[in-house]
Amino acid sequence: MTTRTLLAALQQHEYNWPRFSQWYQRHQGQDPRIEPADWTVKLRLVSAISSTLFFVPQLVALRLALGLLAPAEGTLRQGWQTLARLKLAWLRRRGLVVLGIAGSYAKTSTKHIMAYLLEEQLSVCATPKSINTPLGISQVIWRQLKSDHQLLIIELGEYYQGDVAQLAALVRPDYGVVTPVGRQHLERMGSLDQVAATIGELVEYFAGRPDRLAVHQANRGWFGGEGSHVQSDTHPGKGSQSYVWYGEGDGDVEGDGDVDSGKADGDGDAPPDWTVNRPEVSARGTEFVVRQAAGEKDNRASHKSWQVFTPLYGAHQAINTLPSFWLAGRLGLDQAAVAKRCRTLPYLERRHYPTFAENEVLILDNSYNTNPDSWPASRRLLEQLPAERRIVITAGFLELGDQAETLNRQLGRDLAGVAEYLGLIETPWADAICQGFTAAGGQASHVATAANQAQLLESLRATIIPKSLILFEGGWQEQYG
């Protein structure tokens, strides 16, 4: 492999050597070509140091470079965090409000949606792209947060236990949002309980201020009160009904999903405070009704509702707008203006991002990631959007540990119900997806496999007819060529 490919893979695995080593062993003997997503200072230093160690094998040189950087990196990280804390303390005295978002998925979409919907009424700074680590967040605060910003929206990443608590202690959010808990990063976390416990660190942070935390309805079983699965001495789950809940209203907006959700059972009967109702998806986008229930949390005697349209596809994206309506109300902003601004929401990169090709072919790029709990939203779109033929290109579910084969086989069975043709990126679980697809009635001759998306598109070109719908579903495809 080329040095650039190794550097790119190392960066994609967040410089975690055991995980990078596993990737290398899986691809040894192959020749994937990957370019680094961003030539950060750290990546440049790793490259420079390892290049001076030309007399040892490539992997040894990279490992030594990381080891030599570690002491300086720790000092640098602490320095950035100190600067960030000082700047936040100064800006809070000038009225800055900080909101933190945690969850397995939908964090980045919720963040970008909120920044856009509120920036017409507030000066907003949000961490760019998917930056969600202490160093990245600290650098954004120091470099991009200005004295005239009124709202800072921060995505809190969870890779290992304690991550969310560390970030909450760093930025001390005034408000919080918890998006769905799901089977993301299972290889690192070890179990779904551990994932939920780590995300629940933000719930614990707001234990004394429950009205300042909006929690997705899918998390009722984790944080929903007595009997919920995530409990501790500081947050035993009691009284958590006073959190602000948001999610689906009347009708099925998420799709039931044949992939077992793995979510904890909880008090799912209590209606959310904020709901999306009657979503209708078309080639134009999604129409829906936002409803705020009557209740005692803000002394409302009756509910409020807004008719909303967004160009974004799917009820799941409609639900991602709800924290914006909630926060607008908390900050005294015009919620009707938020509803109006939804009409011009820009498409979100690699999150069902549409390309309208010739012959009325619609391409949906949902390649940022996928998991067994977010996949039903994509399946729902395949069912709802009109098409003469449906083609799905995927690498399957990643980071699922010993559940990978079972859940990817189930993915294949699901795909057989919504897609006529299937393109599989060559991964250790591609065979499992194919087996599930054919076992559920899909035709083996309609399955193509290749090293990357470009090769798959070429293989499937002849199957694309006018009014086809092509979905790229998940998968960090850069890792496979």
The predicted-structure confidence for 271-317, as pLDDT tens digits, reads as follows 899 999 999 999 999 999 999 997 745 555 568 999 999 999 999 99
Amino acid code (one letter) for 442: G
Q: What is the pLDDT of residue 478?
A: 46
Whole-angstrom Cα distance, residue 129 to residue 108?
7
Provide the greatest CA pair distance for the chain.
75
Q: Who has greater pLDDT, 133 or 364?
A: 364
Q: How far, in Å, CA of 374 to CA of 11, rounded? A: 25
pTM, to two decimals: 0.87
Question: In 3D, which of 183, 160, 181 has the Cα closest to residue 396?
Answer: 183
Bridge partners of 152, per DSSP, are 98, 125
pLDDT tens for 5-58 read 899 889 877 788 988 888 788 777 777 777 887 788 889 999 999 999 988 999
Tokens of 313: 């596809």
Alpha-helical regions (H) of 119-261: 134-143, 163-171, 186-189, 192-205, 220-223
Residues 110-167 have pLDDT tens digits of 999 999 999 999 999 999 987 888 888 999 999 999 999 999 999 999 878 899 999 9
Nearest-angstrom CA–CA distance, 24 and 12: 12
Cα distances (angstroms) measured from residue 440 to each of 257, 262, 343, 406? 15, 22, 39, 14
Distance CA 443, CA 423 (A): 12
In this model, does residue 470 exceed pLDDT 50? Answer: yes
**Tokens representing residue 203 in the block:** 């719930």
Measure Cα distances from 206 to 8, 33, 186, 244, 402 in Å. Answer: 38, 45, 25, 12, 34
Q: Is the CATH number 3.90.470.10 carried by domain 94-344? A: no
Q: Is the dihedral of CA 393, 313, 353, 478 positive or negative?
A: negative
> What does the radius of gyration of the chain's CA atoms come to, in whole angstroms?
23
**Domain ranges, ordered by start, for the chain:** 3-74, 94-344, 353-480
- Coil vs helix vs strand at 50: helix
Instruction: For residue range 243-264, list pLDDT tens digits in order.
Output: 999 999 974 434 333 344 444 4
Dump strand ranges (E) for 218-284: 244-248, 274-282
Helices (H), 2-145: 3-12, 17-27, 41-52, 58-92, 107-118, 134-143
CB 260 within 8 A of CB 284: no
Angle at 104 between CA 154 and CA 257, to 5 degrees: 140
Backbone phi, psi, residue 330, to 5°: -65, -35
Neighbouring-strand partners of residue 149: none
353-480: CATH topology is Protein-Tyrosine Phosphatase; Chain A (3.90.190)
